[in-house]
Structure 1
Amino acid sequence: MTRTEHTADWTTRPTTAQGWIDRAGEVAAVLAVDVLERDRANRTPHAEVQLLKDSGLVTLLGPVEHGGAGQTWSTAYRVTREVARGDGSIGQLLGYHYLWAWAARLVATDEQIAAVEELYTTNNFFFGGAVNPRDEDLVITDEGDEIVYNGRKAFSTGSKVSDLTVLEGVLQGTNDHIFAIVPSKQDGIVFNDDWDNIGQRLTESGSVEITDVRVPWASAAGYVDKKFRPLAYNTLNVPTIQLVFANFYLGIAQGALEAATSYTRDRTRPWPYGGDNKERAADEFHVLDTYGDLQSKLWAAEALVDKAGTAIEEVLHADRESVTPEQRGRVAVLVAAAKQRIADTGLEIATRIFEVTGARASASKVGLDLYWRNLRTHTLHDPVAYKRAEVGRYALLGEIPEPTWYT
């Protein structure tokens, strides 16, 4: 099977945070059945996104009055993690969707927030994003009551499976970045079929061409009379998405350890030449030592990721006017610590599991390489060394990170 199918009855929606996390576990179980086949086929994940829609996970953060679950970010992070245990690519897509669904709250006006949240929640719409501020390759021109986007973005996660796309570009003649939410299916947006990386293969993160996409100034996020009104809260977009990264890294690492322990219990043969021979590989000292080390490190990383989630939730759900630069900075440091710890731990797990599953576990049909490929691909998003340096400056000098597009 190379596409995801399900027969679950999801007509009744959960009413608690744990209920939604359990629902995400059900989705992950469906995805895990054919995750390797779908990864290799590298087909656009229409069925997988429909699975997210059918399960109700897409509107997890949406307002209750519009049919959403009205849940908080701590639940959204846990849900992202659970889905990633079954399929890292789909976990990434869902986590990015949550960020873009919240993007209006981060930067938009009250009126824009209300309109966007009603639109995506009532229609069960899925978000993608053509946002890569490192490359100023999408130019915006001011044409009176409208702004017009033209150019190209090298990455557009969610592209073909999205209903709405968040565009980001630079207003011509200025350094002003403007975000706008537009329909994904229109003549002016052409998604290219050029995402063929070794991991996270079903995230549809290829390039996109933007030609004469017109947006009313009234829909330019956070702009009033063509001027942006900045708040410390606006700069929470980077810590929020970086913790999305950490959570789907954690989910992938959990999935890797679960797959490996299952293989070792059921299929790994004991080594007959060690001098203290066992009847089962699961009883060998070096196997127990390795799994104990990896599990302990994973639990430690999970605790730090959860601690960061608790901290960021407090500011994400606070009054936007009340968030201070100091609050934002302390949260950013904690997120940086969580991200670099799970990145390192996840890659270690995805590498060392082969030492305790055996040579036969390296067969393509087993698929244990999927976890390393997924983690290795996305942990290159921005250098982890800079996250360690942010934490180091805080620990040594008491400095909090200055907001940039990556801190």
Structure 2
Amino acid sequence: MTITLTEALHASPWEGQPTPATAEAWIARAEEVASILALDAVERDRAGAVPHPEVRLLKDSRLTVLLGPESHGGGGQSWTTALRVIRSVSAGDASIGQLLGYHLLWAWAARLVGTDAQIAAVEELYTRENLFFGGAVNPRDNDLAIEDRGDTLVYNGTKSFTTGARVSDLLVLEGALPTGEHVFAIVPTAQAGIGFPGDWDNLGQRLSESGGATISGVEVDWSAAAGFVDKEFRPLVYNTLNVPLVQQIFTAIYLGIAEGALATAAGYTRSTTRAWPYTTDPKGTAVEEAYILEAYGDLRSRLWAAQALADAADAELSALLHAPRESVSAAARGRLAVRIAASKQVAISAALDTANRVFEVTGARATSNAVGLDIFWRNIRTHSLHDPVAYKRREVGEYELLGRLPEPSWYT
């Protein structure tokens, strides 16, 4: 599409269209969203406004409900499709790809840890009303403190990293009781006890709304404590798939950034980059330059390889996420975590290299702020620091040398 975000919000290009019915149609819809976002991604990134219009675009496109039950108007799609959609949107604007990825993660949270009744209620609510999720779950901060008042739980505390929370309709809270037991709950974001200081001011992913949140006296019925029955949690290995899932969402974002950087650079090289005349083998155009052709060939080949590994890991992850929850074993979960660790580190390497080297094949003029190629490097450099990639390499190394599977943690 060649319409702007403002035009899309004034008259939705999907008005009157049916919800996509196939994986291919959902991916095509995501590519339409990406093309709208890409037109002014740099300008919006620099303006740094709260991305309410971008979230509305995601809702209008219905990408927000692609995992929701078809019976409630959702897409009924698998995570294989969802991860490809996140990758596609991230190619147009990685901040908005991150918002979508986290939304889909938290939309699946009830299925990860909830009871059957909670899953049914949450999925009907968010799908029918097309509600947007954020999360206040950063494990590097202290847990929110939870007070048990008999029939209710009360959450208090702060979180420094809450992607999407400020633009959300529903917020996932995680905290700990005095016993140390962790409790997840989904609450309406718009309430007096939830506030946002608006302190997200980072190098990249500037529109991901990943700043802090304050939680003060937020009361939740015990019946909404995810996975608890009579105040007792019944754990499953399936509950621990949240971290492999979020790590593979990261991989999708990184591959999207790399794809966006490569496509943007290629367009600039074709239209604007000039051949170098001071050589014994001058060419008429930049696209005939041997070093430029070699670089694009190398970057594309490495990106294809990273995408192929991610596709395989996506399929393995999706198979477990859509399996009967009681059937997921610790060994299967561990093997999946290793594959995802490999996928993530390869994606980071490919994306960092691509976002850096595109300047070599576009030329000095491409460093102009008007071109905006810096957005890709800033985005991948920022988000790839989420957790040290060295530990992902170590996990794969321990598996290769020692046959050791990663133990579930907040980051594995």
Q: TM-score, normalised by structure 1?
A: 0.98
Question: Do the aligned partners of 2:268 and 2:362 also contact (CA within 8 Å) in 1?
Answer: yes
Mapping of residues 93-242 of structure 1, within 5 Å: 93-172=99-178, 174-242=179-247
Q: Which residue of 1 aligns with 2:343?
A: 338
Which one of the candidate residues 296, 301, 306 is aligned to 2:311?
306
Give the aligned partner of residue 54 of structure 1. Answer: 60
Match runs of 1:9-88 below 5 Å: 9-12=14-17, 13-88=19-94
Question: Deviation at 1:170?
Answer: 1.3
Secondary structure, in 3 states, of the residue corresponding to 1:69? coil
Alpha carbons 1:4, 1:30 under 8 Å: kept: no
Q: 1:180, 1:265 → 2: CA distance?
A: 51
Equivalent position to 2:398, from 370, 381, 393:
393
**Paired residues, number:** 406
What SS does structure 1 have at the residue aligned with 2:174?
strand
CA contact (8 A) 2:66 2:75 kept: yes
Q: Distance in 2 between matches of 1:141 and 1:291?
A: 57
Q: Is the Cα–Cα contact under 8 Å of residues 143 and 174 in structure 2 kept in the other structure? A: no
Measure the CA separation in 1 of the matches of 2:386 and 2:4. Answer: 28
CA contact (8 A) 1:165 1:182 kept: yes
- Alignment counterpart, residue 382 of structure 2, candidates 377, 391, 395: 377
Question: Which whole-Å CA distance do the structure 2 matches of 1:289 and 1:39 have between them?
Answer: 31
**How far apart are 1:3 and its partner, in Å?**
5.7
Cα displacement string for residues 103-157 of structure 1 (whole angstroms, at most 9, x for unaligned residues): 1000011111111001100100000001112222411111111110001000111
Distance 2:280 2:356 in 1: 26
CA contact (8 A) 1:2 1:38 kept: no
- Is the CA contact 1:97–1:128 (under 8 Å) kept in the aligned structure 2? yes
Q: Distance in 2 between matches of 1:324 and 1:137?
A: 28
Query: Over aligned residue pairs, what C-alpha RMSD do you find?
Result: 1.1
CA displacement 1:179-222 (0-9 Å, x = unmatched): 10000100000011100101000011110010000001110111
1:9, 1:134 → 2: CA distance?
A: 40
Contact 2:162–2:213, Cα closer than 8 Å, also in 1:
yes
Contact 1:2/1:41, CA 8 A, preserved across alignment:
no
Equivalent pair of 2:14/2:60 in contact (CA under 8 Å) = no
- Distance in 2 separating the partners of 1:355 and 1:193: 36
Quick one: distance in 2 between partners of 1:406 and 1:171? 21
TM-score, scaled to structure 2:
0.97
Structure 1 contact 5–47 (Cα < 8 Å) conserved = no
Could you list the runs of 4 or more consecutive aligned residues of structure 1 that deviate by over 3 angstroms after TM superposition? Answer: 1-5
Shift of the alpha carbon at 1:346?
A: 0.2
Structure 2 CA distance for aligned equivalents of residues 251 and 376 of structure 1: 14
- Say which SS state the counterpart of residue 333 (structure 2) adopts: helix
Q: Secondary structure at the match of 2:305?
A: helix
Q: Which residue of the other structure, out of 239, 253, 258, is the alignment partner of 1:248? A: 253
Give me the identity figure in percent: 62
**Partners of 2:306 and 2:346 within 8 A in 1:** yes
Change (3 A) 1:66 1:2: closer
Report if the CA contact (8 A) 2:5-2:36 is conserved: no
Correspondent of 2:272 among 253, 267, 275: 267
Supply the AA of the counterpart residue of 1:162: S
- Structure 1 residue matching 2:108: 3-state secondary structure: helix
Q: Distance in 2 between matches of 1:159 and 1:69?
A: 24
Rounded Cα–Cα distance in structure 2 between residues aligned with 1:241 and 1:324: 19
8 Å CA contact retained: 2:173, 2:186: yes
C-alpha offsets along residues 382-401 of structure 1, whole Å, 9 cap, x if unaligned?
Answer: 00000011111111111110
1:368 to 357, 370, 373: 373
1:24 aligned partner, one-letter code: A
User: Could you tell me how far apart the structure 1 residues matched to 2:389 and 2:149 are?
Assistant: 41
CA distance in 1, matches of 2:165, 2:228: 25
Kindly provide the amino acid, as one letter, of the partner of residue 60 in structure 2: D
Which of 315, 323, 333 is the aligned partner of 1:318? Answer: 323
Structure 1: runs of 5+ lacking an equivalent: none
